[in-house]
Amino acid sequence: MRIALGIEYDGSAYNGWQSQPDVPNVQDALQAALGEIAGAKIAVLAAGRTDTGVHALEQVVHFDTDADRPLTAWMRGTNAVLPEDISVLWAHPVPEEFHARFSAQARSYQYVLVNRPARSAVHHGKVGWFHLPLDVDAMESAARLLLGEHDFSAFRSSQCQARTPVKNLASLDIRRQGDTIIFDLTANAFLHHMVRNILGCLLYIGKGKYPPHWICEVLEGRDRKFAAPTFAPDGLYLRHITYDAKWGLPQGTMSSCF
């Protein structure tokens, strides 16, 4: 039997999603909890990896098991043994053709940035912070230039293992709510550090270091050295994974921090 799960987690205490020896990670914690429910080892595959300190509002994973358990066991039972900063949101049986990663049609991320002179204490670890005033209109102008299918080599890390740097950025929306700026990005897939590298460039433009069209020079240069430094992971959330309705996943509306 193949089961899909929706997972929410606070990534602050973890070295990212992926299983790694001798460091805490979300995948190992989830697999250990599911193994207690199944009474056997469980291996999960995710829609996408998140880096150290990055959070998820709805990661999607799947696993195969011979254990006959009600769906409530895979959700509430697993949550009873998971750390408090990881939660199973839903469980749903899927056919063997379903794959959390390869069946995904799009991924959506959200970055929450506090833009004021003082950093946030209440939301420490959950939001990014930039102390200088930012021009949202300038950042929006730059964001529009990134939409569509491009070679995003200038925005990928040197550790990126993606087979191709060509991705289709479907949307990049920016809005201000008081002293908070929210960035919503959706693409067919993202490169390693792509969101945080795009954000770093947008902040350069927002603070007036470069005009909006500079981001085209970075994009066309296809070289990481032309872009801004990678921005902090704290305010980054894997927001939603889009699948064909035929799988019947109980995802509901797209989650949001704000």
Collapse the DSSP code of 253 into the 3-class scheme (helix H, G, I; strand E, B; otherwise coil) and give the result.
Answer: coil
Q: If pLDDT is split at 50, 70 and 90, which confidence band does 252 have?
A: confident
Give me the domains of the chain, ranges plus CATH numbers.
Answer: 2-103 (3.30.70.580), 106-238 (3.30.70.660)
Strands (E), 35-122: 44-46, 55-64, 86-94, 106-115
Phi then psi for residue 2, to 5 deg, are -110, 130
Q: Across the chain, what does the average pLDDT equal?
A: 96
Task: Strands of 127-222 (E only): list them.
Answer: 128-130, 148-151, 166-177, 180-187
- 51 counts as catalytic: yes
Distance between CA 61 and CA 253 in Å, rounded?
Answer: 18
Token representation of residue 98: 């379903």
Q: What is the pLDDT of residue 118?
A: 98
- Catalytic annotation, pick one of 51, 64, 179, 223: 51
CA distance 54 to 64: 26
Residue 73 per-residue DSSP state: I
3-state helix, strand, coil in the chain (%, to 5): 25, 30, 45
Q: Residue 162's pLDDT is what?
A: 86
Q: Is the pLDDT of residue 188 over 80?
A: yes
Integer Cα distance of 17 and 255 in angstroms = 19
Report pTM. 0.95
Yes or no: say if 198 and 218 are a contact pair by the CB < 8 Å rule: no
What's the whole-number mean pLDDT along residues 128-155? Answer: 98
pLDDT digits (tens, 9 = 90+) for 189-204: 999 999 999 999 999 9
Q: Is the pLDDT of residue 258 over 70?
A: no
Range name among 45-49, 126-130, 156-160, 220-224 with the lowest pLDDT average: 156-160
Q: What is the mean pLDDT of residues 146-150?
A: 98
